[in-house]
Each structure stands twice: as C-alpha cells, then as structure tokens.
Structure 1
Amino acid sequence: MSETTPTDPLAEAFEAERDRLRAVAHRLLGSHADAEDAVQEAWLRLSRQDPAGIRNLAGWLTTVVGRISLDVLRSRRAHPEASYDDVPELVVTADDAAAPEEDAALADAVGIALLVVLDSLRPSERLAFVLHDLFAVPFEEIGRILGRSADATKMLASRARRKVQAGERPAAAGREQRAVVDAFLTAARHGDFEGLLRVLDPEVRLTSDTPGGVVVTLGATAVAAGARLGAAAALRARAVRVNGRPGVLTWRADGTPAALIAFTVTGTRITAIEALSDPARLAATRLPPPE
C-alpha cells in the first residue's frame, strides 16, 4: 500500500502519526498487511474530513483505526474461514528441559506469543486491552468506539488482562500448561471424547495451516471430534515449545516432520490450537525426531 505524499499540513500531520497508528493496528489485528490497510483507510477518511472540525487529530485517528480494526476482528469471527496473511516466524525448541541456551530464543518469542494470546480474546476485549494497556488510550475514548460505558469498557480490559496474564507465564506455569496439553493428547489417543471436552475451552479455536490453505474450526465439540478422529494418524512425537507455548512435533516413519501443533492454555483449558502441516515451514524447525 502506497503512503501519502505530505504536500500539505494535513498530510504532514498524518505522516507524523503513521508509525504509531501502524503499531496500534498491528497489535489489534496481528497482521502487517491488515494494519497497513487500516492505516490507509484512516487516511482516506481523514482526507474527506474538514480539519477544522477535528480538535485532537491523534485521538481522532486512533479512534478511526480502532473502529476499522474492530470491524475486521468481528468479521474474522463471523467468517473464520477467512484468514489473514501474516504468519509469524516460528521459534521451536525442545521441551525436554529448560536449557540455558534456549533462553534467547524464548525471549525472542515473547512478542509473537503476545499476539497469539491476543488472538484468543474476543474483539471487544482485545480492543479494550490493547488500546488501554499498550497505548494508554482512556477508557472513555475506547467506550465510544465500542458503544459502551467507560465502566463496562474497564471491565472488558480487566477480563482481557487476566487472560493475557494467564497465557503469558511460560516459565512459571510451564508444567501446568504442559499437563493440560498432555491430558488433551492422551484423551485424543484413546478416543476419549469427554476427556477432550474437559480440557477444551467451549469457544476454542483450531487453525490448521495446510498446503491447501488455512482451515478454521470453532468450538470444543467440533475440535474434540476432529482430534479423536485424527489421533490414529499420530506417529513419533516430541514435546516442544512453539514461540514459548507448549506444543508437539510429529514425524512420519521416513523421518520427515508431519505436523507441528501449538496450544494456548488459559488456566486449565485450551483456548486456541494452531496446527501446521505445510512441509516447507515444517522443514525450518530442524529438530531431530525422538529416538
């Protein structure tokens, strides 16, 4: 997307805000391409406005980008088959034990891990948390975007904050999260449908990235049914961390990786699962299969 050419004071003022607006949109949407589109749409709306009627340009632009991003987030939930095109870099490490040399890789994954946790939030929760906690936008302004009171918006942000804190404690809660994932894998291997439902959040989201495209499955019942049916195909597996989250990497009999699965665990429930079976991306993991 081409940027505006600052040939007048309004365009220059917008360019001064572009980087901040891009950062806001990217935290909200998790996609560089969608963020660029949101910022450019904000410029188009600004260019149709009378500047004299805008008292606080930075606040006005933040509100517009927030509303555009909220529409995109709601559209994704309404049409989960439509995925966004950014795929974060994979940081995959063995989860046999916390080796000191892995610390840097896990630290690099923190930013990606936050986006993953944010993706498990409802659109209104994500907007309230990101705008207030990450960009210090007052609750009154966020409430105007959401069409809610400041108190209701504060509650949304508080609920989102708890979810983010629960999902971003890989060091302190690593064993507990791994136990939840192991319970899921055990239930899948044994075809234990009820066992799967016990560890899946009712609104769990499964995103499968395959050579043929991205497929999204929503809801514990649908995810549990697919996990039970797919368990028979499981081969050799190794516990891994994927961008700081608990996961599992499986291999075929010929030693080539079959699938990489990452889990987002909030409390005692799995809220999101990402399954990757694209051979090109799997080859980049470079982890040897278990003996």
Structure 2
Amino acid sequence: MDEVAAAFEEQRGRLVAVAYRMLGSQADAEDAVQEAWLRLARQDADTIDNLAGWLTTVVGRVCLDVLRTRKARPQASYEDQLPEFVVTEDNDVANDAVLADSVGLALLVVLESLGPSERLAFVLHDLFAVPFDEIGQIIGKSTDATKMLASRARRKVQGSATPTDERRQQRAVVDAFLAAARQGDFEGLLQVLDPDVVQRTHTPRGMTVRLGATEVATRIQRGANANLKTRRVLVNGNPGIAAWTATGQPLSVMSCTVTNGRISEMVSITDPAHLATLNLPPAPE
C-alpha cells in the first residue's frame, strides 16, 4: 500500500491542477482528488495498468458529477461567495508574457459559461492533453462527439480572449483610477468609473455592496490616505490593485472589470484573515 500511496502522491499536483481548472475552487479540487484517493484505496492496484490515466478518469468523473449537480441545483450566486484570488505582479507592458501565462487563471471565468461536458472535454484535452477517446469514456460520448464538444468550447474560449491592445487600455484605466484615488480626486474618479459601477467588498463582517459612480467615488474619496502603499497587480489574470499600510501590512486586494474604457465592477477583499492566505507580491518601497 505504501507504494500505491507514493505513486498517488506523485500524481497529486497534476490531479489538483486538473480539478481546479474544472471546478474553479481550490477546496473543491482538493475534495475531488481526495475522493480519487479513497477510490484507489478500495481498488486492487494490480488491476490498474495506467495509474495516471486511471486517476485522471476518476477525478474527471468526480468533477463532472459536481458540475452537473451545480447546474441542476445552483447554490448561492458567485457574487455572494468569497472570491478565490490569485494575485501576481503586473510590470506594465514589459509583462505581457506574464499576462499570457496568466490566461489559465482568467480562463476560469470563461469556463463558467461552458456546459459540464464541454468544460471537461476542453480542459482535459486542450490543457492536459488527454486523448479524446479517454475523455469520451468519462462523459459517456463517442470520440467524434467528444471532439465536437471540445471544438465548441474552444471557439467560446477563443472568442472571449482579450487582445493585447485592450489589455493595455485596461491597465491605463486602472492606473488613472489609482492616481485619482491616491489624490482623493472626486472628478477624476467619476471619469474612470462607469455610471452604474458595482463595488463589492468582502470584509470580516460579510459583504458590502455600493452602486453607482457617485456613491463609490464618495466612499473612495473619504478613504483617501497618502500614507498607503498601492500598486497595480493582476488578479486572476485581470487588472487589479493591492494596498498596504505604511509599514507593509496588507490592507486590501481589488479586482477591476473594465468595460468600454471605464471600471464597471470592483470586487475587493479587506478581511485580514483571508488576505493572509494570499501569496501577494511585495509592497512598493
């Protein structure tokens, strides 16, 4: 059994990566992989010719069940859930390579629009190179039908890709917002906020919501603090802002959605306990 456990641990990192791309939740991904281990423990390992393939199949089926359950009985809106932020550095235009690498993170948002079978076919084949015939066995479809699912998902994903020029425009908008926020410039904030902007902030006491450019700008102007350290970052591959105290303690992380040259949505985390779990880049000097 020790040999089986060791072999499983060799596969764990890849399995979690597969499950995370499928489910968009680290906790759910870990649960799916743990279920695969429990099933492996009940299985006669000598009957498994390809352990990596067997585990991928099991994790895929577990994830598919979870996605179908979500679709059949939707739980609370994602707007009400604490977001899973992956925060990385954003070093301006020179960082386009990092932006390209981060597409896997931003992709999670796009994958939410796919059906369970589409999502599994695309993730397993395009991201993890699992053959179509093996994927077809997981979802219960022929190889040709599985190829069609992956192709349809691929078109949706490609159609949602953000061109480099648009990425640069988004950066410019976030930079303008950051400059106005630092100065408490009310008019400057209104220029970069969509009139119907929505700001959601996850605090230790729960989520607060502010609606409209005037309300959001007023709150930001009142909270302007020249002693804060702030910088633009990437949050799940999209432009965002991180803030620290003068002594370098994390204060907040915010993801920004830019639409037609203005910020239309802002999602922030200010809960210190949750901020402590994020792998934040260093505060600016």
One fold, TM greater than 0.5? yes
Q: How far is 1:119 from its partner?
A: 3.0
Partner of 1:116: 106
* TM-score between the two structures when normalised by the length of structure 1: 0.59
Matched, 1:43 2:34: no
Which letter maps to 2:43?
Q
Partner of 2:123: 130
* TM-score between the two structures when normalised by the length of structure 2: 0.60
Q: How does 1:56-71 map to 2 (within 5 A)?
A: 56-71=50-65
Matched, 1:23 2:24: no
Q: How far is 1:134 from its partner?
A: 1.6
Aligned in 2, Cα 1:230/1:79: closer, same or farther, shift over 3 Å? farther
Q: How far is 1:133 from its partner?
A: 1.0
Deviations 1:143-184 (A, max 9, x none): 232233333332332233234334454524436768999xxx
Which letter maps to 1:41?
E
Q: Say which of 245, 267, 271 aligns to 1:275.
A: 267
Q: How does 1:158-197 map to 2 (within 5 A)?
A: 158-174=151-167, 189-190=194-195
Query: Quick check: 1:90–1:242 contact (8 Å CA) kept in 2?
Result: yes
Partner of 1:233: 216
Q: How does 1:85-96 map to 2 (within 5 A)?
A: 86-91=84-89
Cα separation, 2, equivalents of 1:138 and 1:48: 26
Cα separation, 1, equivalents of 2:265 and 2:242: 13
Cα separation, 1, equivalents of 2:162 and 2:133: 30
**Number of residues paired by the alignment?**
243
Deviations 1:111-157 (A, max 9, x none): 44422222331243332222101211112222232233333332332
Cα separation, 1, equivalents of 2:201 and 2:68: 20
Cα separation, 1, equivalents of 2:2 and 2:201: 45
Query: Quick check: 1:18–1:39 contact (8 Å CA) kept in 2?
Result: yes
Which letter maps to 1:233?
V
Matched, 1:245 2:241: no
Cα separation, 2, equivalents of 1:227 and 1:86: 21
Cα separation, 2, equivalents of 1:60 and 1:276: 40
Query: Quick check: 1:140–1:150 contact (8 Å CA) kept in 2?
Result: yes
- Unpaired runs of 5+ in structure 2? 175-189, 225-229, 244-250
Deviations 1:61-114 (A, max 9, x none): 111111222333445562145757853125456xxxx554xx2xx544554442
Query: Quick check: 1:262–1:275 contact (8 Å CA) kept in 2?
Result: yes
Which letter maps to 1:137?
V
- Percentage of identical aligned residues: 46
Which letter maps to 1:162?
R
**Aligned CA-pair RMSD:** 4.8
Which letter maps to 1:87?
F
Aligned in 2, Cα 1:260/1:18: closer, same or farther, shift over 3 Å? closer
Query: Quick check: 2:255–2:267 contact (8 Å CA) kept in 1?
Result: yes
Deviations 1:216-261 (A, max 9, x none): xxxxxxxxxx8855753334699966344245899xxxxxx88834
Aligned in 2, Cα 1:209/1:71: closer, same or farther, shift over 3 Å? farther
